[in-house]
Amino acid sequence: MNKILTFQPDITFNKEDFVKINNKDFSENECFEDNSKIPKFSHALHILFKNKAAAVSICIILIIALFAFLGPLISKYTYFEQLRGFENLSPSFFHPFGTDGLGRDIMVRAMYATRISILIGVVSSVIVLVIGTIYGAVSGYFAGAVDNVMMRVADLVYSIPDVIVVILLSIVLKQPLYELFNNSQSAFLKNFALLGPGVIAIFAAFALLYWVTNARIIRGHVLVLREQDYITAAKALGCGRARIIRKHIIPNCTSQMIVTTCLMIPSAIFLESFLSFLGLGVSAPMTSLGSMINEAMDGMYSYTYRLIIPCVILCVLILCLNVLGDKLRDAFDYGQKATINEK
């Protein structure tokens, strides 16, 4: 060996350092040194409820939901019952919102309309949530070429003019759905028939078009998650891809899923009311907030209050859902920042 290399081992190393600590005497004193850390999820909810605007909107949403879901049980009228001789009544004790031109109690109709609007909002958001989450998780997890193709497809879908396509779908679906519902024996489909083809078109549109935003958000988060060591650990354990996505990736996207769903509900309600207003949404005799506004347009000069009631419910509902979604996002963002800072 050449003489040029010189080395003086000079590491002061004491074997005792490593051995002297007994294997057993640690577990109590190192326990829960940071027990005060609240879990991220409830931490976010804690922040949320401390916010006045968020708390108020939650209360109002609950009141509207009670009005919509419990109200019809208490009232003695139904949304389709026409009271002969009681047409066009002004608000009174028996009919707090009056009756319409066919003698139907407007308050009960408003309850049903709100219920339908909320249901449509929630169901569409769930559809979007399921499709968007699966698409985003798969795209983000596989990354590379798969991700590239899937995201280009998402870009394409994103630039399709949504409202136009929804309108088109609702026209096209009208006839076949009508036949399908009326010819079928199943009670489930009959119930759907009450809602009308417009609603199905809305669901279809959400399933086809609106998942993109959700998928993008989830994908962005998954791209971060997939680099985490616990995913590598799962791979090292021999978990399959499907299992990793199902058991590790999707549960860790919960906060993103909640926020996007919360922000999707008002836009679904918005779209439904728009279509119903154009007469393409919920079909008579079933009603929704949008179709109530549409019906009230005919007599809007003499019976203005009929127009105002659904408008106010609609706007308050959307406002509260918007505020709640925003605050929820802030709360989760804050929670995330807080955990990063702690590290």
Question: In sequence order, what DSSP letters do the residues of 120-161 get, joined into one string?
Answer: HHHHHHHHHHHHHHHHHHHHHHH-HHHHHHHHHHHHHHHHS-
Using CB under 8 A as the binding rule, whether residue 309 contacts another protein is answered as no
Task: From 60-68, 133-141, 257-265, 300-308, give the range in contact with another protein by CB under 8 A.
Answer: 300-308
Cβ closest to another protein, residue 70 vs residue 171? 171
Residue with tokens 């002061």, as numbered in its chain: 12
- String of contacts with another protein for each residue 89-108, x by CB under 8 A: --------------------
DSSP state of 220: H
Comparing C-alpha atoms, which of 325, 269, 337, 224 is closest to residue 113? Answer: 269
* CB-CB contact of 311 with 298 (8 Å): no
Strand, helix or coil for residue 192: helix
Cβ closest to another protein, residue 8 vs residue 186? 8
Token pair in block for residue 71? 């109200």
Task: From 44-52, 58-66, 166-174, 330-338, give the range in contact with another protein by CB under 8 A.
Answer: 166-174
Cβ 81 to another protein shortest distance, Å = 27
Cβ 77 to another protein shortest distance, Å = 26
Using CB under 8 A, which of 24, 52, 76, 84 touches another protein?
A: 24
Q: Could you report how far apart the first and last alpha carbons of the chain are, in Å?
A: 48
Token pair in block for residue 229? 């060591």
Using CB under 8 A as the binding rule, whether residue 186 contacts another protein is answered as no
Using CB under 8 A as the binding rule, whether residue 84 contacts another protein is answered as no
Using CB under 8 A, which of 19, 187, 242, 340 touches another protein?
A: 19
Using CB under 8 A, which of 155, 190, 191, 298 touches another protein?
A: 155
Task: From 22-30, 65-73, 83-91, 116-124, give the range in contact with another protein by CB under 8 A.
Answer: 22-30
Comparing C-alpha atoms, which of 187, 263, 250, 262 is closest to residue 222? Answer: 250
Residue with tokens 């728009």, as numbered in its chain: 274
Alpha-carbon radius of gyration of the chain: 28
Cβ 99 to another protein shortest distance, Å = 21
Using CB under 8 A, which of 44, 106, 118, 151 touches another protein?
A: 151
Cβ 115 to another protein shortest distance, Å = 19
Binding positions for another protein, 194-253, rule CB under 8 A: 216, 220, 228-230, 232-239, 243, 247-248, 251-252
| Distance (Å, whole) CA 51 – CA 57 | 10
Token pair in block for residue 147? 């991700």
